[in-house]
Copies of this chain bind each other. A is one copy, B any other.
């Protein structure tokens, strides 16, 4: 059930999406909170139209959002967040002269109304 979405600004070209997807899924599926590896669905989104702050600076971002069924402990959520940050820290391009912000957010999904099946 975990849904992971990685969004990055379009001024980070040549983002190694394929290898980052593989690295993220490997890292998360090794964590005990992900019980069935097939449940982890990870995707990339590129933000083509964006602006960061108000200063005339050269800035970029990469933001991860992991959505999990509610019930994880704060410790488990922090561990998952740190795992994701570690993978993105290593793989995110750092173009010269660009300040790159990395952030990771964990979201609880409502368990009672969640529907899930394999077609």
Interface residues of A (CB under 8 A from B): 1, 3, 7, 9, 17-18, 21-22, 24-26, 29, 36-45, 47-55, 57, 59, 61, 63, 67, 74, 77-78, 80-82, 84-85, 89, 92, 94, 99-110, 112-119
Contact = CB atoms under 8 A, between A and B. Distances in A.
Interface centre among A7, A25, A52, A104 (most CB of B within 10 A): A52
6 contacts: A18-B49, A21-B51, A43-B49, A77-B113, A89-B117, A102-B119
A57 to B, nearest CB: 7
A119 B94 contact: yes
A110 B112 CA distance: 19
